[in-house]
Structure 1
Amino acid sequence: MQEWDPESLINVELNKSEENFAIVVLNRRILLPVDVTKSLWQQASLRCLVDGGANRWHTFLQQNCSEGELKWPDFLTGDFDSLQEETMTYFQENSSSDVTKIVNTPDQNETDFTKSLRVLKSSLERLNVKNIIVLQEFSGRLDQIMGNINTLYKCGDILDNHRLFLLSSCSMTWLLKPGQHSIQIPKELCDQNRWCSLLPIGDKSVVTSDGLKWNLHNDILGFGGMVSSSNSYSKEIVTITTDNHIVWSMGWFSFEDD
């Protein structure tokens, strides 16, 4: 049984994380509350800006932080086709080489996000960091959104026993591997009837659940057939059994109206 407790990783009410994690910033607007973003950044054991994500982080610092308030990124990676010259100069001039490692990853066969996991691998293992929180948004270009989901699937081939979470202003998303899973749902989300979903991206999945408003009983999920979208909760612990990889996504508190 794989156990998941997202609130222990990101406790937005207490603004406190109890788990060891890395944070990765992709090239999307940072729409999380400023205090939550700062808290996650400061508490992370490892910090990485991915290509244009460095532009987004530079803007965030300019708009919300005093000089030297937040820790410096450990890595800046990508093929740098989206990185503004002003941003590169800022990080080159304001951080020594032993603080921020700038790693060019020109390979065009993978996204910059996927390549960043390869760059981080040795540091994640050295620091014994198993959780990776990725700041991104499910908006804008569909191909980039699907590319990020594809990286969820590829993570298992790159990193051993790591957990990759896509965090946006209104949701948290990760991949459930074949087997049994137990997900601890914050009481507030149950009380608010917040949404959740099981998305069979790729192959079909046979899924059984307990704790959902509309449970599944050895149902076959697959695009072109049944998809468990716009579901909700009947219990604070949801159990999922799946025979294939499936994407779990859940509305996350009230950062943004949906």
Structure 2
Amino acid sequence: MTTTWHPTGLLEGQPAKPYGIIILNQPINRNALNAVISHAVLLVCADGGGNRLMKYEEDTELRKRLPDAIVGDLDSLSIEAADYWKCKGVKIVRYADQYATDFTKSLRWMRQEWDKQKGEDAELDVVVMGGLGGRVDQGFSQIHHLYMVHQQPELLRGSIYLLSEQSLSFVLAVGENEVYINQKSFAENVGIIPVLGLTRITTSGLEWDVSDWPTEFGAQVSTSNHIRSDLVKITVGDKRPLLTFELANGLCAAEF
């Protein structure tokens, strides 16, 4: 079975499937958010993400898009931001469950809302605006969520992407993956990270392709490889690795 990916479409206003955006309580990569916000069918702020989006909205040079909801336990949403969004008619949804993160609460709300609009079998991709340049534990938490939600259809039916300061990252499928890209959206650097442990990969379309190559932490890992084709093929063994592309300069965060 072959899984196809079209990450360039997200960044160039031609998505292959409908997608929603979740804004985490992380510094926003404004250039990347500008590229994806206009075509999002749903926009959700995870708790303090509402503070971040308010600052984004206040910059009149940036595109404006009201969130469909602010979701979480609301311990990080400022009073100022809550009032700001309430005045604009934005839903503020409080979930008090301390055993779920604001990330998963936002995913659950988005999935339920899409079910209401399109039915339970309708796929919806998700773009998560996060950051990997701050606290290490928070960065690992975001990667953890990319893996976790694939096992929970009540949270995700579709693909999920992490759009951070310099990269677009997502979890490959077991088997053959075909990734269609336009190199205007990406710099040349690419990494294939064996987060779950030892797996074997075969690649084509990269500068240093490999065949049935074992990869795991503590041994050999494919980082800082280079894109050499608009179609990158990666065949994966039994454990799904993380694929991460470096964004082109115009999409990278202006500041960290």
Which interval holds the TM-score relative to the shorter structure? 0.7 to 0.9
Count the aligned residue pairs: 244
Question: For residue 120 of structure 1, what is the amino acid of its counterpart?
Answer: M
Task: Name which of 105, 116, 119 aligns with 2:95.
Answer: 105
**1-side partners of 2:84 and 2:6: how far apart?**
37
Q: Which residue is equivalent to 1:89? A: 83
* Contact persistence 1:152–1:175 (CA under 8 A): yes
| 8 Å Cα contact 1:50-1:77 kept in structure 2 | yes
Tell me, in whole angstroms, the C-alpha distance in 2 between the residues paired with 1:4 and 1:188. 17
Name the counterpart of 1:26: 24
Aligned-partner SS, 1:89:
helix
Shift of 1:37: 2.9
The alignment status of 1:196 with 2:190, answered yes or no, reads: yes
How far apart, in 2, do the equivalents of 1:31 and 1:47 lie?
Answer: 16
Unmatched segments (≥5 aa) in structure 1: none
Q: CA RMSD in A?
A: 2.2
Q: Whole-Å Cα distance in 2 between the matches of residues 181 and 140 of structure 1?
A: 30
Name which of 159, 171, 174 aligns with 1:175.
171
Structure 1 position 204, deviation (Å): 1.6
**What CA distance in whole angstroms lies between the structure 2 residues aligned with 1:9 and 1:64?**
23
TM-score (norm 2): 0.87
Q: Which amino acid aligns with 1:8?
A: G
Which residue does 1:184 correspond to in 2?
180
SS of alignment partner, residue 187 of structure 1: coil
Partner of 1:51: 47
Code of the residue aligned with 1:92 in structure 2: it is K
Residue 17 (structure 1) aligned with residue 14 (structure 2): yes
Which residue of 111, 129, 154 maps to 1:121?
111
Contact 1:51 1:83 in 2 (8 A): yes
Q: Which runs of 5+ in 2 are unaligned?
A: none
> How far apart, CA to CA, are the structure 2 residues paired with 1:257 and 1:165?
17
How far apart are 1:237 and its partner, in Å?
Answer: 1.0
Correspondence 1:131 to 2:125: yes
* Partner SS, residue 30 of structure 2: coil
Query: Structure 1 length as normaliser, TM-score?
Result: 0.86
Go from structure 1 to structure 2 and tell me whether the alpha carbon gap of 1:29 and 1:257 turns closer, same or farther (over 3 Å shift).
closer
Q: Distance in 2 between matches of 1:139 and 1:105?
A: 28
| Counterpart contact for 1:195–1:230, Cα < 8 Å | yes
